[in-house]
């Protein structure tokens, strides 16, 4: 089956945060959490998985795992009719060239696109819990960590770009986002403290340092390292 270039080819599939499909008015809406999980696995897998692998991964507790898999695949097809096909064994996902998955942008796209995604910084399939799928849970955790790392890399690129332009306020906004993804990372705290100092907001820098102190003590039983004290000594930038 070839994919027809219809209007729905501009759809964007969000797998970060609560999964959804943009512009889905009048289309079938995915009802099963396992169908969303199935789609995420197919999109992010390095190679097409076999049907037996998918059945065991997500539907091993069903009376008919392969039958449950067929139902899940059909639900994904109905939701993305005309812009993807799912065929064969192993299962190959073919997409219309204009179809966009947000996870692809985070993992491989430019940071300028990634940081403007509606759910940028949210976890893959956030808050979605499935029972009886321990191997999938392990895969999901690994992918969540990988995409979180890609998100922080995009934010770091954004911060560096805004600093180079001298737009420290914009850099602060991105630094706050970075900190929300990795709240126990001392470098993230130090970066935000340094940026507050650069714009002359020394009170915010001190409060951020105190917040970091409390967080590290509560969560890790540690104290801030020397990089945070160095950040506190950053002189304000000269604005032309």
Mean pLDDT per 10-residue section of the chain, whose length is 240 residues: 44 92 69 95 96 97 96 93 90 91 95 95 94 95 97 97 96 97 96 97 97 97 95 83
**Residue range(s) of every CATH 1.10.10 domain in the chain:** 7-114
Q: Are the beta carbons of 93 and 86 closer than 8 angstroms?
A: yes
* pLDDT score, position 82: 79
**Residue range(s) of every CATH 1.25.40.10 domain in the chain:** 152-232
* pLDDT score, position 30: 86
**pTM of the full structure:** 0.88
The CATH class that applies to domain 152-232 reads: mainly alpha
CATH architecture for the domain at 7-114: Orthogonal Bundle (1.10)
* pLDDT score, position 27: 63
Strand order in the sheet with 100-101: 20-21, 12-14, 100-101
Tokens of 231: 């950040």
């Amino acid at each position: 089956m070839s994919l027809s270039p219809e209007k729905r080819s501009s759809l964007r599939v969000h797998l970060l945060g609560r999964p959804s499909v943009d512009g889905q008015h009048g289309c079938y809406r995915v009802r099963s959490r396992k169908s969303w999980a199935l789609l995420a696995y197919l999109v992010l897998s390095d190679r097409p998985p076999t049907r037996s692998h998918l059945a065991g991964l997500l539907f091993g507790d069903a009376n008919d795992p392969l039958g449950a898999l067929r139902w899940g695949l059909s639900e994904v097809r109905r939701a993305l009719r005309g812009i993807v096909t799912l065929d064969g064994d192993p299962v190959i996902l073919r997409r219309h060239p204009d179809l966009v998955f947000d996870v692809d942008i985070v993992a491989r796209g430019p940071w300028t696109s990634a940081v403007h995604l509606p759910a940028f910084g949210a976890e893959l399939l956030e808050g979605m819990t499935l029972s009886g799928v321990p191997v999938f849970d392990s895969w999901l955790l690994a992918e969540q960590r990988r995409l979180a790392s890609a998100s922080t890399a995009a934010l770091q690129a954004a911060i560096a770009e805004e600093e180079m332009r001298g737009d420290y306020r914009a850099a602060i906004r991105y630094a706050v986002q970075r900190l929300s993804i990795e709240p126990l990372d001392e470098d993230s705290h130090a970066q935000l403290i340094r940026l507050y100092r650069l714009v002359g907001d020394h009170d915010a820098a001190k409060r951020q340092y105190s917040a970091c102190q409390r967080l590290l003590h509560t969560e890790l039983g540690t104290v801030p390292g020397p990089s945070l004290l160095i950040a506190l000594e950053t002189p304000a930038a000269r604005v032309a």
